[in-house]
Chains A and B, each alone.
Chain A
Amino acid sequence: MRIRTEHLFFCYEGGRPAVQDISLDIPTGTLTVLCGVNGSGKSTLLRLLADLAQPSSGQILYDHGKKTDYKTAEAVSMVFQQPETQLFAGTVHKDIEYGLMERGVSKEKRTEIIAGALAKTGLAYDEFAGRSPFLLSGGEKRRVCIAGALAVQPGLLILDEPTAGLDPQAAQALLEMVQQLRSSGLTLIIGTHDLDSFLPVADKVIVMKQGAIHYNGPAPALTADPGLLADAGLTPPVYASMGRRAVQHGLLEAVPDNLEELLIGLEKHPLPMPQTDRWPAGTGASARSSAMSPGNQNTKTSEQHSAEYSLKGTWKRDHSPRSSRTERVQTIIRPGNPRLEQNTPRRPGWQGLDPRAKWLGMILGSLVLLGMNTLLPLLLTAGLLAGLAASARISWRRAFRFFRPFLLMFLFLWLLSGLSWSSPDFALGPLSLSYAGLVRGGINVLRFLLLIALGFLFTETTTGAPLREGLEWGIAPLRTLGIRTRNWSLAVSVTLQFVPWILGKLAQLQLALGSRGRRARGVARWSPRQIALIIVPLLILVLGMGDELATAVESRGYDPAKQRTPVYQLRWSRRDTLAALGILAVAAMLWWVARIS
């Protein structure tokens, strides 16, 4: 499939363009390597090409001739860097089947197609089809993702960092697989940092720099010019930098296009052997003496070790072309921040309020909210919370991003509670609804939304440590009952940090799901079916995360039985008393309004 783009621009909400003025022409059956440092717009461009994001301006033309039956953008498959956020189903078979079902491929044909796609990625159907994709190794997961992308017979396959995190054998096998796919006529675009591996096999290389195209052309012309990659912050492949030096020394005539060419060149024109030993005396000799066969290496004494490994300090001491770590550190440190140098970081405004006052507001607010059965107090509370959020300077965009996942679910619940078959007041398509039910349901839904809003407000204005200490203070009396309160407060504060992480993973899962089937946009991404597909992988991610975090907590010497000295000191000031009184007064008023209305 041939892809052309014309003056593509993409801006994230309110930011400067992430990609700008991209005009490309990628011919059918070619392998294009896309590279650039992080933040160069590489990933954004890949998403635009996969039609997973809409350009702010400009257009993409997919020129697929007559062969494909699919809608244009759906002839593009994309595989993302982390396989964990792209696998959904209980078995490999079902996982790959998803894309086929989305495209209406009949059931009889599916098994054959799935087996074919797995075979292309080097996995045997009989061995893998029934296994859970979540329990495979990293390399195997990556292959299943690619098989899922291939099964739908895409005209274009986009791979983002396909070798990241793979062991050397898996990475090598993946490189070979990519070459096979290319020779089968598939058009490929690969975003990667691994220039040594991918440049030699690329038909064309696109280098991105600050959102724009820095270079677009064949790999040899790129590697022959030392400035091109360096300007974009990239390190040239070893064969190119070595080759260029060899050219300068008159050993080679031209910079080689791959490692093999370099080796052939150096075979014909051997390097001059250095006259002096650059390596510390004895290293080579002892290295030779330690050349033992595998398996019986464990008999050396420590003296031998220290003699053999006396390299310390010589190794890569002058390795970095950049300024040293300390210099770099110095440049980014702000001059003394008086607030930080005080005892406890005391933050302005809402952040600075004692967490106990906020906990009080949170608990009282929740209780009062639960007792509200009419619209008026709920609306009052909503107004109050909105005012508080504004005064805490929480941006609307941030709040919206937080609430978005809940909205459709609540809308659905609301409609559900309005359904009435016995005494309908009006009909909405096939559904018959009653006003009374809608009001009742609406109040319930609003109440829950406000409870979530209260929690959101609390966590947005309180970081983990104060939140933990405030809670710890409140539940400390339970310690006399033998309850490990410290475990509880730690668990709560760590769990609350999960929220932004979960939202991030959710977005990744949705993107991956979108690349497998229909490009769902807007509310369609929150349909019950999409949510049902995402829930299992999300749970697996959350459980894995919980396990890893627990290990990290244990590894850092956390012992619930031991005395800790919290860095955050609870300090109740007059401002906190005023806030607590205010909270009590407002809660009482809202409770009263809820009673009388």
Chain B
Amino acid sequence: MIRAHNISLSGREGQHRRTVLQGINIHIEPGEWVALTGANGCGKTSLIRSFNGLNTPSGGSLSVAGLDLRLPENRMAVKQHVQLVFQNPEAQTVGSTPFEDIAFGLENRGLERERMIARIHEILQQVGLSHKAEAEASTLSGGERQRLAVGCCLALEAKMIIFDEATSMLDPEGRSDILELAQGLWQAGTTILWVTQRMEELAASPRIAVLGKGQLLYDGSPRSLFYTSELPENLGWLPSPAVRVGKLLQKQGWPLHLLPLTGQDLEELL
């Protein structure tokens, strides 16, 4: 799905531009779930925006869904395949009702009207917003707005959805709603890139990529990151409760593959 080879990205900082990321190599296969993390301002957002053509790498080669993003014409085409759910729930509703919001993406694709309307209702049902199809957007909760944003990605039939800290401004219920929705899509075959700062969400992901100091510091499984790498400690992360219990078990001689990563794993130990 994504083939990034030695890419560099520059970002805006006040008036001048500076290089935020350098020499990034990452391959993401179709159907994978990858969690991406890194401190605020480390260039996560610049990187993922380059995956759907909103940013252009200043160096290296980037191909997404088989499209070479060095070519300007592909930067529009890639949006058919890769969609983003942004962090701020308020800043991504373009339509004044959920119905119109989902319609916006379909209108851009030039779908014919009858099919479009049927598809909108299908999607609203999929994201659990059928009962709010014609509600004013300003009356939706943060969680509902994020579900709507996921719906907009579905409208474009995205093969990959990037969640850019999409749950960070939500309450626990909204958060688990979006996570469940994303997991459902993943199990149905959608590639997911899940950007997060939350340790539990990281630990639950099958593959983790860590950005820092302008480069990719880690790309691998959660167990090796939390139980054998010194990176979390070097980055000053506070391990999640499950990992702290796991570290104790590790000291008591448990093999790596039995160590817990999530609260769920922890409960299953007893």
B42 to chain A, nearest CB (A): 9
The CA of A138 and the CA of B87, in the complex, are separated in Å by: 13
Inter-chain contacts of A482 with B (CB < 8 A)? none
Inter-chain contacts of B52 with A (CB < 8 A)? 555
Inter-chain contacts of B79 with A (CB < 8 A)? 555-557
The answer to whether residues A292 and B220 also contact, given A312-B33, A320-B176 and a CB cut-off of 8 A, is: yes
The answer to whether A334 and B131 have CB atoms under 8 Å apart is yes
Task: Judge whether A271 is part of the interface by a CB distance below 8 angstroms.
Answer: yes
Residue of B26, B100, B117 most packed against chain A (CB within 10 A):
B100
Chain A 202-236 interface residues, beta-carbon cutoff 8 Å to B = 233, 235
B10 to chain A, nearest CB (A): 17
The CA of A557 and the CA of B82, in the complex, are separated in Å by: 10
The answer to whether A564 and B107 have CB atoms under 8 Å apart is yes
Q: Mark B86-128, 1 if CB is under 8 A from A, else 0.
A: 1010111111110110011111111111101100110001101
The answer to whether residues A298 and B106 also contact, given A168-B197, A332-B130, A552-B86 and a CB cut-off of 8 A, is: no
The CA of A341 and the CA of B114, in the complex, are separated in Å by: 10
Number of A-B contacts (CB under 8 A): 293
The answer to whether B138 and A565 have CB atoms under 8 Å apart is no
Inter-chain contacts of B252 with A (CB < 8 A)? 270
Selecting from A1-9, A95-103, A281-289, the interface stretch reads: A281-289
Which residue of the partner chain, among A164, A168, A251, A302, contacts B238 with CB atoms under 8 Å? A168
Q: Mark B1-44, 1 if CB is under 8 A from A, else 0.
A: 00000000000001000000000011101011100000111000
The answer to whether residues A306 and B29 also contact, given A168-B237, A239-B241 and a CB cut-off of 8 A, is: yes
The answer to whether residues A562 and B110 also contact, given A279-B258, A329-B125, A329-B126 and a CB cut-off of 8 A, is: yes
Task: Judge whether B183 is part of the interface by a CB distance below 8 angstroms.
Answer: yes
Inter-chain contacts of A320 with B (CB < 8 A)? 176, 180
Selecting from A178-186, A241-249, A434-442, the interface stretch reads: A241-249
The CA of A167 and the CA of B199, in the complex, are separated in Å by: 10
The CA of A551 and the CA of B149, in the complex, are separated in Å by: 13
Task: Judge whether A481 is part of the interface by a CB distance below 8 angstroms.
Answer: no
Chain B 64-82 interface residues, beta-carbon cutoff 8 Å to A = 76, 79-80
Closest B residue to A285 by beta carbon equals B257
The answer to whether residues A463 and B270 also contact, given A557-B80, A559-B76 and a CB cut-off of 8 A, is: no
A84 to chain B, nearest CB (A): 10
Task: Judge whether B152 is part of the interface by a CB distance below 8 angstroms.
Answer: yes
Inter-chain contacts of B180 with A (CB < 8 A)? 320, 325
Q: Mark A311-355, 1 if CB is under 8 A from B, else 0.
A: 111011101100001001100111000001101110100000000
Inter-chain contacts of A196 with B (CB < 8 A)? 241
Task: Report how many residues on chain B are interfacial, defined by Cβ distance under 8 Å.
Answer: 120
The answer to whether B114 and A556 have CB atoms under 8 Å apart is no
The answer to whether A328 and B128 have CB atoms under 8 Å apart is yes
The answer to whether A558 and B108 have CB atoms under 8 Å apart is yes
Inter-chain contacts of B125 with A (CB < 8 A)? 329, 333
The answer to whether residues A567 and B106 also contact, given A309-B221, A557-B76 and a CB cut-off of 8 A, is: yes
Selecting from A49-57, A258-266, A531-539, A585-593, the interface stretch reads: A258-266
Inter-chain contacts of A259 with B (CB < 8 A)? 241, 244
Closest A residue to B32 by beta carbon equals A309
The answer to whether A312 and B110 have CB atoms under 8 Å apart is no
Selecting from A108-116, A120-128, A363-371, A492-500, the interface stretch reads: A492-500
Task: Judge whether A504 is part of the interface by a CB distance below 8 angstroms.
Answer: yes
Which residue of the partner chain, among B103, B110, B220, B248, contacts A297 with CB atoms under 8 Å? B220
Task: Judge whether A13 is part of the interface by a CB distance below 8 angstroms.
Answer: no
The CA of A557 and the CA of B54, in the complex, are separated in Å by: 11
Task: Report how many residues on chain A are interfacial, defined by Cβ distance under 8 Å.
Answer: 112
The CA of A565 and the CA of B100, in the complex, are separated in Å by: 13
The answer to whether B120 and A290 have CB atoms under 8 Å apart is no
The answer to whether A245 and B267 have CB atoms under 8 Å apart is yes
Task: Judge whether A274 is part of the interface by a CB distance below 8 angstroms.
Answer: yes
Closest B residue to A245 by beta carbon equals B270
Which residue of the partner chain, among B94, B241, B249, contacts A552 with CB atoms under 8 Å? B94
Which residue of the partner chain, among A137, A245, A277, contacts B40 with CB atoms under 8 Å? A137
Inter-chain contacts of B83 with A (CB < 8 A)? 555-556
Closest A residue to B187 by beta carbon equals A313
A243 to chain B, nearest CB (A): 10
Which residue of the partner chain, among A241, A345, A549, contacts B267 with CB atoms under 8 Å? A241
The answer to whether A311 and B126 have CB atoms under 8 Å apart is no
The CA of A343 and the CA of B14, in the complex, are separated in Å by: 48
The answer to whether B96 and A266 have CB atoms under 8 Å apart is no
Inter-chain contacts of B29 with A (CB < 8 A)? 302, 305-306
Inter-chain contacts of A566 with B (CB < 8 A)? 107
Which residue of the partner chain, among B33, B86, B245, contacts A262 with CB atoms under 8 Å? B245
The answer to whether residues A277 and B187 also contact, given A297-B216, A567-B106 and a CB cut-off of 8 A, is: no
The answer to whether A294 and B241 have CB atoms under 8 Å apart is no
Task: Judge whether A308 is part of the interface by a CB distance below 8 angstroms.
Answer: yes
The answer to whether residues A263 and B270 also contact, given A277-B257, A290-B220, A297-B218 and a CB cut-off of 8 A, is: no
Task: Judge whether A238 is part of the interface by a CB distance below 8 angstroms.
Answer: yes
A499 to chain B, nearest CB (A): 9
Which residue of the partner chain, among B94, B121, B206, B270, contacts A246 with CB atoms under 8 Å? B270
The answer to whether B130 and A287 have CB atoms under 8 Å apart is no
The answer to whether A553 and B94 have CB atoms under 8 Å apart is yes
The answer to whether A311 and B206 have CB atoms under 8 Å apart is yes
Which residue of the partner chain, among B120, B224, B236, B266, contacts A288 with CB atoms under 8 Å? B224
The answer to whether B76 and A298 have CB atoms under 8 Å apart is no
The answer to whether B181 and A552 have CB atoms under 8 Å apart is no
The answer to whether A563 and B256 have CB atoms under 8 Å apart is no
The CA of A295 and the CA of B215, in the complex, are separated in Å by: 8
The answer to whether B94 and A556 have CB atoms under 8 Å apart is yes
The answer to whether B184 and A325 have CB atoms under 8 Å apart is yes
Task: Judge whether A506 is part of the interface by a CB distance below 8 angstroms.
Answer: no
Inter-chain contacts of B266 with A (CB < 8 A)? 238, 242
The CA of A568 and the CA of B96, in the complex, are separated in Å by: 13
A459 to chain B, nearest CB (A): 9
Q: Mark B129-146, 1 if CB is under 8 A from A, else 0.
A: 011011011100100000
Closest B residue to A172 by beta carbon equals B238
Task: Judge whether B84 is part of the interface by a CB distance below 8 angstroms.
Answer: yes
Task: Judge whether A596 is part of the interface by a CB distance below 8 angstroms.
Answer: no
Task: Judge whether A291 is part of the interface by a CB distance below 8 angstroms.
Answer: yes
Closest A residue to B202 by beta carbon equals A168
The answer to whether B264 and A298 have CB atoms under 8 Å apart is no
A312 to chain B, nearest CB (A): 7
The CA of A288 and the CA of B206, in the complex, are separated in Å by: 14
The CA of A25 and the CA of B160, in the complex, are separated in Å by: 52
The answer to whether A549 and B32 have CB atoms under 8 Å apart is no
The answer to whether B256 and A288 have CB atoms under 8 Å apart is yes
- Please name 25 pairs of A and B residues whose Cβ atoms are closer than 8 Å in the assembled complex, sorted by A: A38-B171, A165-B168, A193-B171, A233-B173, A249-B270, A259-B241, A287-B222, A287-B256, A288-B256, A305-B207, A309-B221, A312-B206, A328-B128, A332-B128, A465-B103, A500-B138, A501-B138, A545-B90, A554-B54, A555-B52, A557-B156, A564-B107, A565-B106, A565-B110, A565-B116
What residues make up the interface of B, taking CB atoms closer than 8 Å to A? 14, 25-27, 29, 31-33, 39-41, 49, 52, 54, 76, 79-80, 83-84, 86, 88, 90-97, 99-100, 103-114, 116-117, 120-121, 125-126, 128, 130-131, 133-134, 136-138, 141, 152, 156, 168-169, 171-174, 176, 180-181, 183-184, 186-187, 197-199, 204-207, 210, 215-224, 228-229, 231, 234-238, 240-242, 244-245, 248-249, 252, 254-258, 262-264, 266-270
A-B contact sample (20 more), CB < 8 A, given A38-B173, A553-B104: A138-B40, A165-B168, A168-B197, A172-B236, A193-B172, A242-B241, A274-B269, A294-B217, A302-B29, A319-B183, A329-B128, A345-B99, A464-B96, A465-B96, A493-B96, A548-B92, A555-B54, A556-B156, A557-B76, A557-B79
Top 7 A-B residue pairs of the complex, sorted by shortest distance between their CB atoms: A284-B257, A464-B96, A548-B91, A298-B25, A238-B241, A567-B103, A291-B228
